[in-house]
Structure 1
Amino acid sequence: MVPRPRLALALLASALIGAGVLAGAAAAPAATPDAASIRDADTAMIVGWASHDLTTMAAEETAFGTTNDMLSTYVDFVQSPDFPHDYADAAEARGAALMIAWEPWDWNRPADDQPEFAPRLIAAGDYDAHLTEWLTDAAQRTDDAEIIVRFAPEMDDSTRPWSSGTAPGANTPAEYIAMWRHVYDLKQAIAPEVVLLWNPLNFGAGPYPFESYFPGSAYVDALALDGFNWGYTAMTQAGWQSPDDVFGFSSPTGPVPRLKALAGSKPWGFAEVASAPDSPSDFQPGGPGYGAWGSWVYQWPENAPYETTADDWITQEGWSRMLLERARDSGASFVDFFHTVKETDWRLTDTAIGQGVLASGS
């Protein structure tokens, strides 16, 4: 069994000594009284990651020499309708929190052709039987691990049945709010210890800012943002962005200050975050990330008190360290890395230096 170091992921080491802890590895110990909780203001920031599956995660824990302190998984209403008890078992064994993206749609069908999952129908009670059964199962696991549910996340984007659009008959923020409040009321009646997490995207592609979807503090247990440094992937023309570019930590109008204003005294954090892998050639003369910007990062990389070397700006490893530092300093309760392959290889293990960060100790 791998020891449980008292650092945030043992992973991003000296910058985060005193952050969250991650217990045992594949053969994890039983849950302890100090099991991870985002609602405990006395504990340090929790750090975890979303893996492809539990088997992959256990192998990563062994490779990294630490344990995942916030497991993350996804379920929908059709292809994966049941509460994920296997993930709850794994969280309980590790003394970890469990974060579940609970998505009202069918993964296997086009997102723009599922009107049966419109928020107005969920708000009207059409899915109460399913919601009640799922929440009843969730309630049975809240003594085993903290259950955090990201219901209908990234609502400010434009690609899901619960998103808003501009076409006639499209969902509205008011309908999303009505849906959310209905689900929250059911949650309070059936599974009050479940944490319902309101979770927009940092800069959604939808027509409304994320504040338009906020159901009110009385209907939210915790809040989170999602956001990514897409780098020079085929998915975007944004180019390489620092953690501050992605989340606007230092700007009054940035996503983090805006989310914190809504959060008040409630816990908040990052539910999906990652950087694209770096390619050194991108930042050399002739590369897409060079030019005036790339030259400046190499010659004058200081951005006190955070980025102090070029590697802190333009490597996946440095980006992840800086994100954790900024999150901790901003008062985040948790950070969960999207540690998997999807649009690109978001894993820190894609390079030797990234794996070295995740496997490092204090």
Structure 2
Amino acid sequence: MPPYHRIHPLEHGVFLPHGPQDGPAFTAMIGAAPQWMLLFRDWTHETPPLGALEAVRAQGATPVLTWEPWYAPAENTAPADASHQLPFALTRMLAGDHDYRISTWARALASWGHDVVLRFAHEMNGDWYPWGTGIQGNTADQYVRAWRYVHDSFTAAGATNVRWCWAPNIPAPRADTDVAQLADFFPGDDMVDVLGIDGYNWGFPEPPLSWSAPEELFGPGLDELRSLGTRLPIVVTETASAEGHEPGHSKADWITQLFDYLTRQGDVRGVIWFQERKERDWRINSSPTALAAYRHAVANLH
């Protein structure tokens, strides 16, 4: 059972590949304005996207800015070893190699002064980013120290308007008790304001990326987040589903199940849908039935 009764309705959000400029069309499509809007910026960007943040605010949403310490490869051209970028190993961050960029972002967001959720170095428990566990010699302890290092820089800049979102990927099934727990990466509730978690229903016929009901997908991860012992709000910071092609594997049904399940989790504040055709057609409108299910689910949140 979730530890808290729901006080506020579950909130919905979205990632739009072209950014907030597509927000009005998305709102028209689903019949309700998103309350959270997810953005991504890698470290090729010397300064934060203040124009995009303003556009999100103008639409009445809270910006969730994913700040990725790497040079993200171009879409559909990512080499197999894209996660191996030695300048972005956690040891290099701790050595001060990126202090200028970190302090520049901290000062710029402090001067901007409005509410922003900064999702720094997400999915750290995976091996697909340069800051991930086991990549380039990274350890969970280094991740914690790097998080605190960056957070301290923002504190020194007076960026009190920044809320910090710590967002692991759903934990992999553990046959080995030596595998790191989410708690091993947690920098402490004095350094985090929002707990995030990412998880997708990939819809492959075989595990580990097989069709997964929402409770199967998120239940173990939510249990681990709760075991941290904080009272921090939880947001599903990325999710989506493939279209199913077997009996009982309906994307429309999965969407309905997702919202029903998360509504029952009183400590889950919101859920952000990844509205892009990428590895799968993750979009809400990948089929008329999926779109109808999403519209219905969102309408019943209020």
TM-score by length of 1: 0.71
Unaligned segments of structure 2, at least 5 residues: 1-5
- Cα deviation, residue 58, structure 1: 2.9
- Cα deviation, residue 352, structure 1: 0.7
Deviation track 1:274-304 (CA, whole Å, cap 9, x = no partner) reads 111123xx22xxxxxxxxxxxxxxxxxxxxx
Distance 1:255 1:339 in 2: 22
- Cα deviation, residue 139, structure 1: 2.2
The answer to whether the 8 A contact 1:200-1:225 is kept is: yes
- Cα deviation, residue 88, structure 1: 1.0
* Helix, strand or coil at the partner of 1:247: helix
- Cα deviation, residue 113, structure 1: 2.8
Identify which of 190, 194, 199 aligns with 2:167: 199
Instruction: State the one-letter code of the partner of 2:250.
Output: T
Residues 233 and 147 of structure 1: CA distance in aligned 2, closer, same or farther (over 3 Å): farther
Comparing 335-344 with 201-210, greater Cα deviation is found at 201-210
Instruction: State the one-letter code of the partner of 1:182.
Output: Y
* Helix, strand or coil at the partner of 1:218: coil
Aligned residue pair count: 280
Identify which of 103, 118, 125 aligns with 1:156: 125
- Cα deviation, residue 178, structure 1: 0.8
2:155 corresponds to: 188
* Helix, strand or coil at the partner of 2:124: coil
1:321 corresponds to: 256
Instruction: State the one-letter code of the partner of 2:151.
Output: Y
2:209 corresponds to: 238
Residues 57 and 233 of structure 1: CA distance in aligned 2, closer, same or farther (over 3 Å): farther
- Cα deviation, residue 175, structure 1: 0.8
Identify which of 53, 59, 64 aligns with 2:25: 59
The correspondence of residues 137-176 of structure 1 with structure 2, limited to 5 A, is 137-143=108-114, 146-165=115-134, 170-176=137-143
Comparing 317-326 with 128-137, greater Cα deviation is found at 317-326
2:189 corresponds to: 217
* Helix, strand or coil at the partner of 1:49: strand
Identify which of 67, 91, 102 aligns with 1:102: 67
Distance 1:239 1:44 in 2: 30
The correspondence of residues 1-362 of structure 1 with structure 2, limited to 5 A, is 43-54=8-19, 55-78=21-44, 80-108=45-73, 110-143=81-114, 146-165=115-134, 170-190=137-157, 191-204=159-172, 207-232=179-204, 238-248=209-219, 254-262=220-228, 264-279=230-245, 282-283=246-247, 314-330=249-265, 331-360=267-296, 361=299
* Larger RCO (CA within 8 A; separation ≥ 6): 2
- Cα deviation, residue 208, structure 1: 2.4
Distance 2:8 2:113 in 1: 19
- Cα deviation, residue 116, structure 1: 0.8
Instruction: State the one-letter code of the partner of 1:325.
Output: D
The share of aligned pairs that are identical, in percent, is: 26
1:306 corresponds to: none
Comparing 207-216 with 267-276, greater Cα deviation is found at 207-216
1:30 corresponds to: none
Distance 2:130 2:210 in 1: 29
Instruction: State the one-letter code of the partner of 1:344.
Output: R
Residues 202 and 66 of structure 1: CA distance in aligned 2, closer, same or farther (over 3 Å): same
The answer to whether the 8 A contact 1:317-1:348 is kept is: no
The answer to whether the 8 A contact 2:15-2:38 is kept is: yes
- Cα deviation, residue 203, structure 1: 2.1
Tell me the C-alpha RMSD between the 2 structures.
2.3
Unaligned segments of structure 1, at least 5 residues: 1-40, 249-253, 284-309
- Cα deviation, residue 262, structure 1: 1.7
* Helix, strand or coil at the partner of 2:227: helix
Distance 1:263 1:346 in 2: 33
Bigger CA radius of gyration: 1
Q: Point out 4+ residue stretches in structure 1 off by more than 4 angstroms.
A: 204-207
2:3 corresponds to: none
* Helix, strand or coil at the partner of 1:333: strand
- Cα deviation, residue 125, structure 1: 2.2
* Helix, strand or coil at the partner of 1:217: coil
* Helix, strand or coil at the partner of 1:148: strand
The answer to whether the 8 A contact 2:23-2:59 is kept is: no
Comparing 147-156 with 63-72, greater Cα deviation is found at 63-72
